[in-house]
Every structure is written in C-alpha cells, then in structure tokens.
Amino acid sequence: MKMAHSKLSVPSLGTPQHFLECDIKDCERKCQFYCNPCHQQMCEQCRDEHLKNSGYKNHEVVLYQQRKRQLPVEKCKIHPTKDIDMLCEECQVPLCSKCATQKHHRGHIFIDLETVYAENMALCLGEISKIHEYFLPTSQDLQKEIKGDSTEIKMIMDSLRTAMKVDGESLTSIVNEVVSKNIQQVDNIEQSLLEKLQSQDTTVKDYISYLHDLVKEFHNYLSSSKLTDIIPKLSEKFKDIRPLPEKTKPVTPVFTVSQYSKDDVAKLLGKINFKDTKAEIRKSKPMEIVSSTSMESTSQQKKRDRDTKSDVKQTMSLSSSVTEVRKFHVLDVNNASHMSLYKSGRLWVSDNHGNLVRTDVMGNQLQKIRISAGMCVHTVAQDGDLIFIDSDNKVIYKITLDYNITEFIKTGDWTPGSIYSSLINGDILVGIGKDKESKVMRYNKTGKELQNIKKDNIGQKLYTVPIYITENVNGDVCVSYFNEKAVVVVNKSGQHRFSYTGWKSGFRPFGICTDVLGHILVCDLHSVHLLDQDGQFLSLLLTEHGVYSPLCVCVDDENKLYVGNQYNNIVTVYKYLQ
C-alpha cells in the first residue's frame, strides 16, 4: 500500500501549508477523495478517471475525511501463511479464511474484518472529536470559571475582613470612649476628695500653730515670778483651749469589674452569615452532536447561535401584567443612579456621589470602590471587566476581574458622559461633549476609534448631552437625554432612524436599556416606557406598582427588569416577559 503523504504548498499569501497528495502516479494534485477498495487517495480528476474504468466502476470512492481505514496486516497464529481478514459474528473472534472452514465455525456468519475495523476507527475518531470539540473546551471553561470564582472569593473575603476590622474598631472606639469617661469621673472624684483633705490639712495646721502659741504663752507664765498675776490668768487659759478640729475620713469609690466573656463580646460584634444551602452545581453548555468526519466551521457555529437566540425570541412575549420578583437595598450608595449587570448575576450600582458598589442579585455587597465626587457612569464588558468614566480627567478606565485598574481610552478635549459595552461585538459606545457640541464615539475592545456619530441624515445635530446610552439587538444605538426630552435612535451605520418624545407632554427620559425582543425601556422618573425597536409606544410599565422616581434600568440574562431609584438605594426586580 502507498502511504498517505503530504507536500508543502506556498499560497499567494505566503503562508506555508501542508496538503495530502494524490496517490496516482505522476499526479501531484491535492487529494480530496479516497477509494476504499483500493485504499488510494485521489484528486478529483483521478477519481473521475478511476470510476470510468469498467473494473472499478463499482468501487466506493468517498471524501477523504469519510474514508475507511485500511486493515493492518496480521498473520493468523494457526495458519501463519494466511492474513486475519474476517470476524466470526457468533464467536466474535478475528480469523483467517482457512479458520472459517473449521468444524466449530460451521454455520456461523462471517463479517469482513476491514469493515468492522473501519467502523471502530470511526467511533474512535468520533470520541476524539468529542473530546477536542466539547469536553476539553468545556473543561477549560470550567477552569476559567473556577479561577474567576477564586478571585471573587478572595475579594469577598477581603471585604469581609475589612468589614470585621471596621466593626471591631467601632466597638473599640465605643469601649475607649466609655473607659475614658469613667477615668474622667475617677479624676473628678479624686480632685474633689483631695480638695476636702487639703482643707482639713489647713485647718489642722492652723490648730497646731495655735497650740504652739499657747505652749509658748504657758512657758512665759512659768517663768514669771508674780504668782498673783499668773494663777487667775492660767486658770482662764485652761478653760479657753479650743477643742481639736473635726476630721472626716474620705469615702473612696469602688470599681465593679465587668464579667463579660468572649461570647458576650461576640454578641456585640457582627457575625458571618453562611446560607445553609447546597452548593450550586456548575452549569456546562450541553454537548451537541459532534461530527466524526468534519469540524464545524466558525460561521456555522455563529449561525447556530443566532438560530438559538431566534428560538428564544419566538418562545417569549410580553406578559399581561408586571410582577415584582424582589427588592433589595444596595449598601453604601445614596441612590441608584446607574446600573451595569454582568451575565454571572453580579450587579454594579453607583450613585451621584462617586460611590460604586458590586452586589449580588440579593443585595449582598461584594465590592466597594470610590471613583470620584460626582456621578459615576460605568458598563461591564463582554469579558466581565468593568469600564468606568472619569469625566474630570476625560479618561475611561478599566477594572479587571482581579482588580487591576488600567487607563483604557483618553477622550482629549471632549468630556465623556455615558458609556455602554456592546453585547453583539464588544464595541464600546461613549457619549461625549465639548462646549455646545456632543457626539457618540464607537471604539473596539482595544480602545481603537471606529465610528463618530454626530449629525443626522440632513446634517442636523443629533445630540446635546447623551447621559444614558445603550444598543439594541439589531445594532441600533439608543441615547436618552432629559434636557431635550427625547430618545434618539440611529442605526449601526449612524443614520438617524427615529426620535421618541413621549406619549404625552412632560416626558423627561433618563436610564435606558433594551431586551432580547428588541424592546426599548426608558425611565421618565414616573414610570418606565416600553417601545418596540421602531420607536412605537407599547405601554407604561410599573404604574400599578406605585413606583417612585425610577432613574436607571437594565435587563438580565433571565429577562428580568432591574429598576434603580433616584432618591434611595433600593433596586427592584420585575418580571414583564413570559
């Protein structure tokens, strides 16, 4: 048998490539086909010539990828001159043609061993293909997920440790304050007691001085020779000696030592809450049918993804009513002025004082960042990195999952005011302004400028101050700005499609987002307007819920609507699709 061999080809692009060469003599063309009976690889021309031959017209010629592998030559141990080339179907034993004539194989059915071998080789190739196309990539995805979870756990644990230290420092501060107050009280009591003792000491000193003077006077009497003068006076002096001054013993306070145990102190401090639930099993993408003969092309994969999304769209529709799923407070923000949601269920919420908090969808804080003194505007990229605006310095920064902050885009003289990362291709849309001009810039994932959207089809300015920006499933760029009381939508080429100014007067649009069905959802501080992707008003959402001042909105990958409030840090989650 002539073994398959390859030849080096240099295409016009200059990149060396290997290809299989035709086995037919003097033919150097590229092999595309394979004759299973002859075990020869052939080009298209040689295949046609081969089948024209009357002796080969019934030969099975297939694509090279679908070829039957040639049976390896193995001699029979019983009949060394014979090759093993068949399989006894009943005994499941490979044997040669002479073995098939033996008595214990009479009446058995024999199968061409080459066919069985080819089928088994095809199964092996199929399993190899499954491993390379599904199991290995999925395992590697799980590895990345585990690594991401490890990074996240470290961040969460760091935040827990910081919170514990702050909690302990707070208790220590209170204890120090109480101890200081008690010590001050002791100081005051001590001062008072010492002052009383000092007063008593002064009185005793005066009395002692009086006694010394009296003794001196008595000595004078003793030295006098006129008894007639001494006796009456001396008697009088004995009667006039002042009594000893009164002395009171000071009463000192007693300190009662506290009887607190470690458990008592632990009760005064915060504690770790660990949900008593089973660990969630990681979800892997389902294994699809993997071809053993050919690899699926990238374009086919993308087409299948599009078809899957289309199937989701076909199974979803607007619900007849809006249902509140849950609501939660986002700690350490004054209000919810801007939200970004990552597909893992991690929500970023910021206020208009530069506070940015990462929380899970139940309100448990995962991370806190102080950005600036003003409104913090941000978006989550396709890879999970957070991108945020520093309007004062006209810079856009990126924070990776492992918390590395890097400078991403500089906007020069233009001040960035809004930002959104495309779910379609990862492009970054940025609303910027300078003096009285505004425009929307499109950058790729690396920060390279791709597009400048500034004027409509007739040369009129499209924007004033694009505060909130998003992208629809059809590639439309949707911008809301309350000063002009309008939502402006252009297509992916930058051509103006429509402007929405509300279904009645008083429309002041703020936060804006889109969903899987192409709906546009926009806040106006009273309710949420629901539009189709062509700008037609469909309904007002949340009116029956008495929602108060909705400022920002986003939709998660489970098609639930998140609404942030202008005046408090509450985020409410609703279901509006079915």
Q: What are phi and psi of 136, to 5 degrees?
A: -65, -50
What does the block give as tokens for 283?
Answer: 């979800």
Residue 247's pLDDT is: 80
The whole-number pLDDT of residue 409 equals: 93
Cβ 313 vs Cβ 327: under 8 Å: no
The pLDDT value given to residue 276? 55
Confidence (pLDDT) at 287: 60
Between CA 540 and CA 520 the distance in angstroms is 12
Report the candidate in 374, 471, 476, 479 with the shortest Cα–Cα distance to residue 428. Answer: 471
Q: What is the C-alpha to C-alpha distance for residues 472 and 29, in angstroms, rounded to an integer?
A: 49
Q: How high is the pLDDT of residue 294?
A: 39
Question: Which of 420, 398, 412, 417 lies closest to 463 in space, CA to CA?
Answer: 417
Helix (H) or strand (E) holding 163: helix 136-223
- At 194 the pLDDT is 92
CA angle in degrees (0–180, nearest 5) for 480-482-485: 90
* DSSP character at residue 287: P
Per-residue model confidence (pLDDT) at position 362:
77
- The pLDDT assigned to 228 comes to 63
Supply the pLDDT for residue 373: 64
Distance separating alpha carbons of residues 211 and 230, to the nearest angstrom: 19
Residue 318: strand, helix, or coil? strand
Helix, strand, coil share of the chain (percent; to 5): 30, 30, 40
Angle at 72 between CA 71 and CA 78, to 5 degrees: 105
pLDDT tens over the chain, length 578 residues: 344 444 433 333 334 444 688 888 888 888 889 998 888 999 999 998 899 888 888 898 888 877 888 888 999 999 999 999 999 988 999 999 999 999 889 889 999 888 888 888 888 888 888 888 888 888 888 888 888 888 888 888 887 888 888 888 888 888 899 899 999 999 999 999 999 999 999 999 999 998 898 888 778 777 766 666 666 666 666 657 788 888 888 888 888 887 788 888 888 887 776 655 566 666 666 665 444 433 344 344 444 544 555 555 556 788 878 888 888 889 889 889 899 987 656 889 998 888 889 888 778 888 888 876 677 899 999 888 899 998 888 999 998 877 788 899 999 999 998 999 998 888 999 999 888 888 999 999 889 999 888 887 777 888 877 789 999 999 999 999 877 788 999 998 888 899 998 887 788 899 999 999 999 999 987 889 999 999 999 888 887 666 678 889 999 888 899 999 888 889 999 999 88
Among candidate residues 403, 386, 405, the one with its CA nearest the CA of residue 348: 386
In this structure, the chain runs to a length of 578
- Region of 452 please: left (phi>0), alpha (psi -120 to 50) or beta: beta
Name the strand (E) or helix (H) holding 18.
strand 17-20
Cα 246 from Cα 265, distance rounded (Å):
49
- Phi/psi of residue 459, nearest 5 degrees: 90, 5
3-state secondary structure 387-412: EEEECCCCEEEEECCCCCEEEEEECC
Where do the domains of the chain lie, and which CATH numbers do they carry? Answer: 6-66 (3.30.160), 299-577 (2.120.10.30)
**214: which 2 tokens?**
């009296």
Instruction: Please tell me whether the overall predicted TM-score, pTM, comes out greater than 0.75 for this model.
Output: no
pLDDT given at position 239: 59
Helix crossing, 227-240 with 136-223: angle to 10°?
150
CA distance between the termini of the chain: 63
| CA distance linking residue 157 with residue 154, whole number of Å | 5
The Cα 337–Cα 564 span in angstroms is 7
Residues 6+ apart with CB under 8 A from 574: 322, 323, 324, 325, 541, 542, 545, 560, 561, 563
Pairing between β-strand 428-434 and β-strand 437-443 as defined by DSSP bridges? antiparallel
Element (H, E) at 430: strand 428-434
